[in-house]
């Protein structure tokens, strides 16, 4: 029999579920306690406020992204690595989608979280450039250093702004499906197409087919 989840872990898990479903601004600590059928006092025993729960969820998200956003060690990069990064980014964005949907509000509300997010962004941009340099060294992409830097920035802008773009473009922005997020990952892949070498083109085009979601479908999801 699996061990029973501790109350603190249940609070974190249920908070993530509610934030993703309803948006962080629509969910209070009282909502979380009621959803879990525990008293608000029990919740406050583990977390002094909602910001503390969000900070822990961001730590989980940060740790998840740090675990995969790095070049392969001891070998050349492959197109399969590119597929791995895209799948991992999609899973991270989907599982912690409230962070993307409510990011500006969250950072405005918590200066400490904002400082942590700036450090996280800087780290992701460094790692992103290292990954792209690996693809260049492996002969998958052909880019100069300035192009690597620009492509990394553009990819980061797309990934971090995609949910807000959908929210201003579609009618029912509160309920985004996973296919809508998949289209965002596809947009990053398309940014790279002009730099793909002839040797890697067929494999990268197959990736495009795998991740493509029609834009109208993304808006309806």
pLDDT band of residue 151 (cuts 50, 70, 90) is: very high
Other CB atoms within 10 Å distance of the CB of residue 99: 24
φ and ψ at residue 138, rounded to 5 degrees = -85, -5
More confident residue, 164 or 47: 47
What's the confidence (pLDDT) of residue 220?
76
- Report whether pLDDT(91) > 60: yes
Coil, helix or strand at residue 171: coil
CA distance 34 to 19: 14
Q: Is the pLDDT of residue 95 over 90?
A: yes
Residue 70: C-alpha distances to residues 124, 184, 211 (Å): 9, 20, 21
d(CA 87, CA 150): 22
Please give the model's pTM, rounded to 2 decimal places: 0.91
* pLDDT for residue 136 is more than 90: yes
CA distance 82 to 114: 29
Band (pLDDT 50/70/90 cuts) for residue 173 is: low
| 124 pLDDT more than 90 | yes
Q: What's the rounded Cα separation, in Å, for the pair 132 and 29?
A: 42
pLDDT digits (tens, 9 = 90+) for 20-68: 999 899 999 999 999 999 999 999 999 999 999 999 999 999 999 999 9
Cβ-contact 221, 177 below 8 angstroms:
yes
Task: Tell me what pLDDT residue 1 has.
Answer: 44
Mean pLDDT, the chain, integer? 93
% of the chain with per-residue pLDDT over 90:
84
If pLDDT is split at 50, 70 and 90, which confidence band does 75 have? very high
**Residue 217 pLDDT:** 82
The per-residue pLDDT for 2 is: 45
Statement: residue 4 has pLDDT above 90: no
């Amino acid at each position: 029999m699996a061990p029973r989840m501790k109350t603190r872990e249940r609070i974190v898990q249920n908070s993530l579920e509610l934030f993703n479903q309803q948006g962080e601004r629509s969910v209070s600590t009282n909502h979380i306690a009621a959803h879990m059928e525990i008293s608000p006092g029990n919740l406050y025993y583990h977390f002094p406020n909602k910001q503390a729960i969000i900070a822990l969820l961001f730590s989980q998200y940060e740790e998840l992204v740090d675990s995969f956003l790095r070049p392969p060690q001891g070998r050349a990069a492959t197109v399969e690595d590119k597929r791995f990064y895209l799948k991992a980014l999609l899973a991270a964005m989907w599982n912690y989608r409230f962070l993307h949907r409510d990011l500006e509000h969250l950072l405005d509300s918590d200066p400490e979280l904002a400082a942590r997010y700036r450090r996280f962004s800087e780290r992701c941009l460094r790692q992103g450039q290292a990954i792209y340099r690996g693809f260049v060294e492996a002969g998958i992409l052909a880019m100069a250093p300035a192009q690597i830097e620009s492509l990394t920035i553009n990819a980061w802008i797309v990934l971090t702004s995609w949910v807000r773009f959908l929210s201003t473009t579609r009618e029912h922005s509160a309920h985004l499906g996973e296919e809508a997020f998949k289209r965002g990952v596809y947009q990053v892949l398309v940014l790279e197409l002009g730099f793909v070498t002839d040797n890697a083109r067929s494999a990268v085009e197959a990736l495009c087919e795998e991740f493509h979601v029609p834009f109208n479908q993304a808006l309806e999801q």
